[in-house]
């Protein structure tokens, strides 16, 4: 014989205050849990969106990021001789040698922040069609001019059109603002690669090479030639998407581990709250439990009834916490990208897996908090329970 669900949910009215407190505690923990996962997913989404699956990025092996990668002029020339590199109708190769440096600029409050400055070649914009100028104009090659990513433009006074940015003892003019649809490029400054190399006395050495193949699906000749050339053994290639996905892995993992560790600590409080609520429910319904048992309801029915009640409370709290966390998608924050040690702006991002994991986390708290009180109710002696009335 099973206990009707309406009996289980009717008990919510009898203990409104403790139920509301427990639901609030669980929703707060789930909110933090979901926020952490959304933050990590936002970092991954932002950096992965930076790359294009049609482009290849070449860097030095074992380099943690572009800032620590060095490609000498001889190697640059060797790479240009490889087969299957895409070309414009005029025969110009779709390849750009890019120096990457880090500078400090002010946020306006006197606080300094690291910002990535990328030098691009004349086809740098062409092989990245997602990058568009939204204010001002494109910088002129041969001049010390910069364009600022949209995220920098919103947060830094020095990244406004008409502002001056100090690079290596000289001032460069910001002449435009670009967007890359929320990718990591939006947190960078871009300028002429040759001018940037000259400013930092780096000769012709670049940090990375980005190129577009004639057909990314028929790249076997390029890969075979690259892998078999001994002069290129110290270098490696990835699609831009794969490269930035690897760059996001460490930061995203760090955020997840730290955030989940803190959330688990918070969850102990919510679990204890659920346990107190359920013990209270058992104490207040001792006579009812005895009556149900005398009517023929089995112990497992009593156990299931109280456990379902605990799971319902946790599920409601989890849904509320998840609903509140979903509003974080409208906010953008910034952090230090561990691979470049520069500022990276990103938005919280929600995914189906985060929704599922958050609700599972809430249910686990409900099971842990409700099992012992439910077992106590199931084991209660019929006569003792009836006499309690």
Q: DSSP string of 152-175?
A: HHHH-GGGSTT-EEEETTEEEEEE
Average pLDDT over residues 74-86: 92
Task: Mark 56-89 as b/e (b = at least 16 C-beta within 10 Å).
Answer: bbbbbeebebbbebbbeeebbebbeebebbbeee
**Which of 189, 205, 233 marks a domain boundary?**
233
- Is there a domain that residue 57 lies in? no
Over residues 343-356, the pLDDT tens digits come to: 777 788 899 999 99
Q: Supply the pLDDT for residue 13.
A: 59
More confident residue, 195 or 378: 195
Q: What is the pLDDT of residue 79?
A: 93
pLDDT score at 262:
79
Contact indicator for 83, 225 with CB cutoff of 8 Å: yes
Q: Between the CA of residue 280 and those of 137, 172, 373, what are the distances in Å? A: 68, 69, 9
Burial 179-218 (b: 16+ CB within 10 A, else e): bbebbbbbbbbbbbbbbbbebbebeeebbbbbbbbeebee
Average pLDDT, the chain: 82
Rg (CA), the chain: 30
For residue 279, is it within any domain?
yes
Do 304 and 260 share a structural domain?
Answer: yes
Task: Provide mean pLDDT across the span 103-129.
Answer: 86
- Of 233, 268, 299, the one marking the end of a domain is 233
Helix, strand and coil percent figures for the chain, each rounded to 5: 55, 20, 25
Residue 377 CB contacts under 8 Å (≥ 6 apart), including other chains: 282, 285, 289, 302, 303, 305, 306
Ordered DSSP codes for 286-349: HHHHHHHHHTT--HHHHHHHHHHHHHHHHHHHHHHHHHHHHGGGG-EEEEEETTTTEEEEEE--
Mean pLDDT value across residues 126-150: 93
- Segment among 20-24, 238-242, 281-285 with least mean pLDDT: 281-285
Q: Is the pLDDT of residue 155 over 90?
A: no
66 and 41 co-located in one domain: no
Q: What is the pLDDT of residue 253?
A: 80
pLDDT at 382 over 90: no
* Residue 241 lies inside a defined structural domain of this protein: no
In the block, residue with structure tokens 């400090």: 104
Residues 41, 83 within the same domain: no
Q: Are residues 43 and 113 in the same domain?
A: no
Mean pLDDT of 107-133: 86
Q: Is the pLDDT of residue 71 over 90?
A: yes
| pLDDT for 102 beyond 70 | yes
Cα dihedral 81, 82, 83, 87 sign: negative
Is the domain of 161 the same as that of 273?
A: no
Indicate if the pLDDT at residue 385 is higher than 60: no
| Lowest mean pLDDT segment, chosen from 108-117, 201-210, 317-326 | 108-117
Q: In this structure, what is the dihedral angle of CA atoms 6, 8, 12, 13, given to the nearest 10 degrees?
A: 50
pLDDT band at 235 (very low <50, low <70, confident <90, very high): very high
Query: Higher pLDDT residue, 115 or 106?
Result: 115
Q: Is residue 214 part of a domain?
A: yes
Whether residue 388 is predicted with pLDDT greater than 70 in this model: the reply is no
Average pLDDT for 193-200: 92
Average confidence (pLDDT) over 85-109: 87
Q: What is the mean pLDDT of residues 243-248?
A: 80
Say yes or no: 227 and 260 in one domain: no
Structural domain contains residue 338: yes
Q: Which of 165, 200, 233 delimits the end of a domain? A: 233
Is the pLDDT assigned to residue 381 strictly greater than 70? no
What pLDDT, on a 0 to 100 scale, did the predictor assign at position 192?
Answer: 95
Task: Residue 260: give the domain boundaries.
Answer: 5-48+248-387
Do both 197 and 274 map to the same domain? no
Is pLDDT at 89 greater than 70 in this prediction? yes
Q: Is residue 190 part of a domain?
A: yes
219 and 276 housed in the same domain: no
Same domain as 229, residue 259: no
Indicate whether 202 and 153 sit together in one domain: yes
In a domain, 243, yes or no: no
| Residues 274 and 368 grouped into a single domain | yes
What pLDDT sits at residue 77? Answer: 94
Q: Which of 12-26, 153-167, 180-194, 370-384 has the lowest mean pLDDT?
A: 370-384
pLDDT band at 91 (very low <50, low <70, confident <90, very high): confident
Q: What percent of the chain has pLDDT over 90?
A: 30
Biggest CA pair distance of the chain: 97
Question: Which among 365, 333, 287, 368 is positioned nearest to 26, based on CA atoms?
Answer: 365
Number of domains making up the chain = 2
**pLDDT value at position 387?**
57
Report yes or no on 355 lying in a domain.
yes
Is residue 264 domain-shared with residue 124, that is, in the same domain?
Answer: no
């Amino acid at each position: 014989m099973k206990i009707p669900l309406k009996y289980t949910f009717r008990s919510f009215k009898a203990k409104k205050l403790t139920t509301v407190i427990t639901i609030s505690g669980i929703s707060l923990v789930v909110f933090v849990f979901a926020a952490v996962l959304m933050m990590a997913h936002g970092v991954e989404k932002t950096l992965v969106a930076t790359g294009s699956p049609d482009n290849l990025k070449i860097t030095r092996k074992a380099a943690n990021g572009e800032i620590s990668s060095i490609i000498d002029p001889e190697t640059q020339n060797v790479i240009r001789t490889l087969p299957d590199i895409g070309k414009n109708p005029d025969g110009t190769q779709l390849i750009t040698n890019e120096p990457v440096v880090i500078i400090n600029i002010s946020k306006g409050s006197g606080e300094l922040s690291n910002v990535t400055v990328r030098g691009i070649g004349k086809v740098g914009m062409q092989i990245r069609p997602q990058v568009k100028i939204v204010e001002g104009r494109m910088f002129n090659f041969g001049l010390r001019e910069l364009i600022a990513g949209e995220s920098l433009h919103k947060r830094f006074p020095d990244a406004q059109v008409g502002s001056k940015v100090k690079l290596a003892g000289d001032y460069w003019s910001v002449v435009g603002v670009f967007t890359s649809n929320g990718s990591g490029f939006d947190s960078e400054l871009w300028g002429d690669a040759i001018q940037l190399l000259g400013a930092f006395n780096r000769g012709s050495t670049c940090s990375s090479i980005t190129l577009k193949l004639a057909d990314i699906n028929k790249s076997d000749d390029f890969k075979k030639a690259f892998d078999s050339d001994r002069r290129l053994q110290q270098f490696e290639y990835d699609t831009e998407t794969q490269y930035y996905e690897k760059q996001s892995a460490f930061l995203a993992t760090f955020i997840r581990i730290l955030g989940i560790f803190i959330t688990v600590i918070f969850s102990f409080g919510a679990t204890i709250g659920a346990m107190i609520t359920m013990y209270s429910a058992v104490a207040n319904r001792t006579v009812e439990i005895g009556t149900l048992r005398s009517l023929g309801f089995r112990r497992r029915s009593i156990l299931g009834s109280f456990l379902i009640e605990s799971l319902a409370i946790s599920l409601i709290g989890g849904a509320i916490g998840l609903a509140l966390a979903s509003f974080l998608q409208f906010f953008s924050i910034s952090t230090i990208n561990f691979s470049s040690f520069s500022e990276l702006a990103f938005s919280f991002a929600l995914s189906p897996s985060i929704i599922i994991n958050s609700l599972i986390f809430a249910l686990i708290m409900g099971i842990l908090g409700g099992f012992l009180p439910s077992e106590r109710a199931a084991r209660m002696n019929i006569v003792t329970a009836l006499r309690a009335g």
